[in-house]
Amino acid sequence: MLYKTLKKNINMKKLLSYLFLLLAAVAHAQEKIPVVYLPENLTIHFISPEPVQYVDISDKSLIGDLPLKNVLRIKLKDSLKAFTGSVITIAGEKFIAQYQLLPGYPGVPTKININPADTRPLDISGIGLSQNQLKLLCLKLYTTGAEKKLDKIKAFGLIGLVNHIATLGDYVFLDIAFRNKTNLKYDIEDFSFKIDDKKVTKASNIQSVEISPVFVLSGVSSFSKYYRNIFVFKKMTFPSNKVLHAELSEKQLSGRVVTLSINYKDLLEADNIDF
């Protein structure tokens, strides 16, 4: 009886040992990071799906910079012989990724796309939506029609329209368009947004608060016949005696200026956009 009990305990210990080794192997496989080979006299470009916020280069034999918001380039400072390998950490707005850099040779890939499979999500409270997420939402809104048009104005051969207002969480999306009925191309000087008093008298002090979008879908600087863009703002509130003005101004001293008005009621009745 004692022999059977000991044998049973030994078998249980073996089973637990096998399970422990299996779990350790799985954990080791999960912690394994992608390998990127770095050749001499060549530059490696990491292309991020969203703007890069932070980079850690732990090896002094490497140099790097951000020529664009979503592009990181890395190269060897000295000879390949002095480089034995390193780990680089790249963090975006919503992810963090690590890559193991090893000595390489001519012919290896020099453009590395940071894929979702190589990243880990970052849970940073208060950061909101990333620029890439805002762009996707704007494109979705761009292809979605609105049930009703909001403010419309005609001036200087231009027709301005507030096509659509939508919200998601703390974000407000304004879909604005202009039609040019003239044969003169419109060169955009500025597109500004201000919260102004609805009624202005000579005796009153004009109070105007300028607000800036956190994201703009298109950076078009001129248009011949049609212009449409989507502007994203953080949640805004203003009293009923105020109005949000969207002002498009043209270059040149006598440039055409067209102003659209958006009431707070329009914001409260905005559609929800699904994510």
Output the domain CATH number for residue 228.
2.60.40
pLDDT of residue 23: 44
pLDDT of residue 176: 93
Q: Which domain holds residue 259?
A: 135-272
Average pLDDT, the chain: 81
**Radius of gyration of the chain measured on its C-alpha atoms:** 29
Give per-residue pLDDT as tens, 6-35: 344 445 554 444 444 444 444 444 457 899
Residues 161 and 262 in one domain: yes
Residues 149 and 259 in one domain: yes
Please answer whether residues 78 and 61 qualify as being in contact, where contact means their C-beta atoms are separated by less than 8 angstroms. yes
Residues 151 and 259 in one domain: yes
Per-residue pLDDT band for 231 (boundaries 50, 70, 90) equals very high
Residues 140 and 251 in one domain: yes
Per-residue pLDDT band for 66 (boundaries 50, 70, 90) equals very high
Task: Find tokens 């950490």 and name the residue.
Answer: 89
Q: Which of 107, 127, 147 is the last residue of a domain?
A: 127
Q: What is the mean pLDDT of residues 126-150?
A: 78
Please answer whether residues 182 and 192 qualify as being in contact, where contact means their C-beta atoms are separated by less than 8 angstroms. no
Percent of the chain residues past pLDDT 70, beyond the cut: 81
Whether 69 has a pLDDT exceeding 60, the answer reads: yes
Sort residue 269 into left (φ over 0), alpha (ψ -120 to 50) or beta.
alpha
Q: What is the mean pLDDT of residues 202-210?
A: 67
Q: Could you give the strand order of the β-sheet that contains 62-68, starting from the edge strand earlier in sequence?
A: 62-68, 71-76, 44-47, 111-113
